[in-house]
């Protein structure tokens, strides 16, 4: 099982590998830059080399970069939209420099201008980025929770975007369990998990699924609430995660984005996932 966390690059980007090893992770996700700023510092050759060396000396693989929070590829606001495209290009380039195979991105909000327009803008943004950055990095489209004006909460939306990409081989999917549940995809019983995965296969295709964000949900089924919860403490619950982990989702890289509070630490959530696989 490839199980890991979203970890900090504080200090230097190579430190993220140390943090993964310290926590017993064998995969990881990170931001390659400040996630709350449009600008970024160039990666230094020394830290790139150190990052690659530490990865090669560890069992941590694959590695995923997540785009910053500010990104909105569906935005009708021209300044935000063009800044988002620039950041996406930067992240694809940085991933290539670091030897990271995947970049995960949220798809954004159409801000009331309509889903059709939002999807069109996302497709154009991705194709613009791919035309500028020609490498082997795969962009993973993350499903959303179905909140108001969001894009990408349905499998049909994801497939529309993926099929619009000029190079389909450079597009995959990151499946977030909290987001899927909040968007109305049941993940509790064995039958529900199988039904959800069958729908995914029919609409998008099983080969497109590269990563699972393993998060419980504070909101109920179809609530549209994007609130992550500790594994087993939310509406999906221990029963749901036992069934998720028994399915083929459990064979994919699993990244936890769960809270850290007085109830449980990130290491506690890793432990809970391992318990549920016994």
Active site residues: 36, 66, 69, 106, 142, 176, 179, 213, 226, 228, 257
**DSSP-assigned beta bridge partners for residue 172:** 140
Closest to 176 (Cα-Cα) out of 66, 261, 51: 66
* C-alpha–C-alpha distance, residues 48 and 112, integer Å: 41
* C-alpha–C-alpha distance, residues 161 and 212, integer Å: 19
Name, in order, each residue with C-beta under 8 angstroms of 96's C-beta and a sequence gap of 6 or more: 133, 135, 136, 137
What would the two tokens of residue 255 be?
Answer: 């990244």
Sign of CA dihedral 195, 230, 28, 70: positive
Cβ neighbours around 181 below 10 Å, total: 29
Q: What are phi and psi of 27, to 5 degrees?
A: -155, 165
**21-33 per-residue burial string, b: 16 or more CB within 10 A, e: under 16:** beeebbbbbbbbb
* C-alpha–C-alpha distance, residues 201 and 227, integer Å: 26
Give the residue carrying structure tokens 């996406």: 88
Q: Kind of pairing, strands 209-214 and 171-176?
A: parallel
Burial class (CB within 10 angstroms; exposed 0-12, middle 13-18, buried 19+) of 149: middle
């Amino acid at each position: 099982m490839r199980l890991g966390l979203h970890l900090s690059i504080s200090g230097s980007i190579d430190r993220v590998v140390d943090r993964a090893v310290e926590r017993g992770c064998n995969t990881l996700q990170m931001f390659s830059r400040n996630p709350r700023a449009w600008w970024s510092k160039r990666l230094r050759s020394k830290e790139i080399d150190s990052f690659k060396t530490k990865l090669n000396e560890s069992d941590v693989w694959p590695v995923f970069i997540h785009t910053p929070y500010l990104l909105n590829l569906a935005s009708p606001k021209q300044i935000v939209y063009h800044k988002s495209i620039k950041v996406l290009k930067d992240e694809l380039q940085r991933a290539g420099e670091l030897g990271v195979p995947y970049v995960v991105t949220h798809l954004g909000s159409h801000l009331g201008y309509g889903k059709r327009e939002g999807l069109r803008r996302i497709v154009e943004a991705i194709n613009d980025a791919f035309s500028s950055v020609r490498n082997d990095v795969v962009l993973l489209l993350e499903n959303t929770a179905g909140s108001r004006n969001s894009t990408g909460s349905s499998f049909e939306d994801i497939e529309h975007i993926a099929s619009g990409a000029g190079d389909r081989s450079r597009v995959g999917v990151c499946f977030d369990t909290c987001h899927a549940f909040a968007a109305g995809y049941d993940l509790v019983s064995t039958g529900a998990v199988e039904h959800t995965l069958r729908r995914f296969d029919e609409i998008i295709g099983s080969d497109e699924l590269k990563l699972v964000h393993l998060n419980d949900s504070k909101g109920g089924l179809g609530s549209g609430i994007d609130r992550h919860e500790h594994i087993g403490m939310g509406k999906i619950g221990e029963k749901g995660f036992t069934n998720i982990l028994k399915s083929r989702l459990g064979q994919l890289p699993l990244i936890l984005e769960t809270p850290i509070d007085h109830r449980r630490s990130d290491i506690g959530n890793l432990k809970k996932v391992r318990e549920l696989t016994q």
